[in-house]
Amino acid sequence: MVAKKDIDWGNLGFSYHVTDKRYVSMYQDGKWDDGALISDDKIVMSEDAGVLQYSQSVFEGLKAYETEDGHIVCFRPDLNAQRMYDSALRLEMPPFPVDRFVEAVKETVRANEAWVPPYGTGATLYIRPYMFGISPVIGVKPADDYMFRIFTTPVGPYFKGGAKPIVVRVSDFDRAAPRGTGHIKAGLNYAMSLHAIVDAHKEGFAENIYLDPATRTKLEETGGANILLVDQDNTLVIPASDSILPSITRRSIHYVAENYLGMKVVEREVLLSEVEKGEFKECGLCGTAAVISPIGKINDHGKEIEFSNGMEKMGPVMQKLYDTLTGIQMGRIEAPEGWIVRID
Ligand code: PLP
Ligand code: COI
């Protein structure tokens, strides 16, 4: 065990810290090189790089945890590898091989072991794989050369206040077009959400709920997390759409709810009008960064929809899901085969 960095782990927010090592691999002459860990956190590139001109970039987010018995683990990195593969194909980028992605994640976390927050602090090591077009392009076309990198940064809760319910608003902006790029993790999806999130924060909301862009009647997701709902019969209801990101946390919660908690789970289109009628008693956001963040209220243009948990704490169903999921991630509860990948 290496000595941990001297950090006030319990008070970390979701922000970037430069850690010791990052992984880099270059795609040139039609192939990925062997890749290596390096110390330099800066990147030098052409003023005309594909990423700078036409936003050719995709990324991922996953976490490393210290478990109760002192090991360092990652949660389902193979699914992030596959999603990044799919994201790359959609933006005409050469996909980084899935098995190499998983190995590179392990190497990067191992090289930054001193930055993995100690068990029980509530903090985790956030891992950010990303790749982008680095060679010059001036006509609108894919770059020839690409850089794949992974850095890590220790983080605390994504939303201030940790597990306290948040208030979100229904956004007038759209996040993703039908048949667009909402289902992949491309930087461009986040660039176009920045105005909406800055405006939401100005108005006192933690996030935006986006509606389906075709009809603006169905719930999609927020800028950085999928939505979970619990109906009056305690069924977990998950909004389905082709233009939301297939969250790994959400897919894991679906499995946990059915197989660990014996719950009924339905993935289907969810109308905003159903939510307004009070058909759901609990609501939350889920994602790697958000984990499960309870929603206290949704504000739809001044009309408030309140959930039964109120503004003080998570509802009982979200709490059970949260405890089981984080129990699996931190090694307190036995994980399904292949979910937990040991680093050390
Ligand atoms: N939806 C969006 C738009 C996201 O950015 C994220 C974060 O990765 C998620 C959902 C949650 O996905 P995951 O659980 O795989 O982190
Ligand atoms: C994540 O949960 O990993 C995300 O990418 C959400 C946000 C930080 C973009």
On whether both 235 and 308 belong to a single domain, the answer is yes
Tell whether the model's pLDDT for residue 221 goes beyond 90: yes
> Does a structural domain hold residue 2?
no
Atom of ligand 2 nearest to the CA of 62: 3
On whether both 30 and 118 belong to a single domain, the answer is: yes
Domain count along the chain = 2
Q: Is the residue at 217 inside a domain? A: yes
Residue 74, beta-bridge partner list: 64, 341
- Nearest atom within ligand 2 for CA of residue 126: 3
Mean pLDDT of 170-189: 97
Lowest mean pLDDT among 76-80, 162-166, 272-276: 162-166
| Domain identity same for 216 and 310 | yes
Q: State pLDDT tens for residues 45-71.
A: 999 999 999 999 999 999 999 999 999
Q: Which residues are catalytic?
A: 185
Do 114 and 263 sit in the same domain of this protein?
Answer: no
Same domain, 33 and 82: yes
**Quick check: is 337 in a domain?**
no
Instruction: Tell me: do 176 and 304 sit in the same domain.
Output: yes
Give the pLDDT of residue 2.
Answer: 85
Assess if residue 129 is contained within a domain: yes
Q: What is the pTM of this model?
A: 0.97
Q: What is the pLDDT of residue 287?
A: 97
Give me the domain span that covers residue 232: 166-329
Statement to judge: residues 123 and 245 lie in one domain:
no
Q: What is the mean pLDDT of residues 32-46?
A: 98
307 pLDDT higher than 80: yes
User: Distance from the CA of 19 to the center of ligand 2, in angstroms?
Assistant: 19
Strand partners, 4: none
Residue nearest to atom 5 of ligand 2 (CA): 61
Task: Assign residue 58 the CATH number of its domain.
Answer: 3.30.470.10
| Ligand 2 geometric centre to CA of 185 (Å) | 9
Ligand nearest to C-alpha 250: 1
Question: 71 and 15 in one domain?
Answer: yes
Q: What is the pLDDT of residue 246?
A: 98
Residue 29: what residue type?
D
Of residues 73 and 344, more confidence is placed in: 73
**Beta pairing class for 166-170 and 291-300:** parallel
User: Considering 135, 155, 175, which residue would you say is the last residue of a domain?
Assistant: 155
Q: Does ligand 2 have an atom closer than 6 angstroms to the CB of 287?
A: yes
Ligand 2 neighbourhood includes 187 CB (under 6 angstroms): no
For residues 298 and 230, membership in a common domain is answered with yes
Nearest C-alpha neighbor of 210 from the set 154, 171, 260: 171
161 belongs to a structural domain = no
What value does the CA radius of gyration of the chain take, rounded to a whole number of Å? 20
- Rounded to 10°, the helix 77-90/98-111 angle is 120
Q: Please, where are the H alpha helices in the chain? A: 50-54, 77-90, 98-111, 187-191, 194-202, 248-259, 272-276, 316-329
State residue 194's pLDDT score. Answer: 97
Instruction: Indicate whether 314 and 181 sit together in one domain.
Output: yes
Judgement on whether residues 118 and 262 belong to the same structural domain of the protein = no
pLDDT tens column, 125-159:
999 999 999 999 999 999 999 999 999 999 998 88
Identify the pLDDT of residue 344: 86
Residues 14-42: what's their mean pLDDT? 98
Residue 324: give its domain's CATH number: 3.20.10.10
Residue to mutate, 74, 288, 293, 325, ligand 2, most ligand atoms under 8 Å from C-beta? 288
Examine the domain organization and report whether 131 and 174 are in the same domain: no
Residue 322's pLDDT band, with cuts at 50, 70 and 90, is very high
Residue 336 lies in a domain: no
Q: Across the strands, what pairs with 133?
A: 146
Ligand 1 center to 296 CA (angstroms)? 20
Rounded distance between C-alpha atoms, residue 208 and residue 55, angstroms: 23
219 C-alpha to center of ligand 1: Å?
Answer: 15
Calpha distance 292→287 (Å, rounded): 7
Q: Write out pLDDT tens, residues 232-243.
A: 999 999 999 999
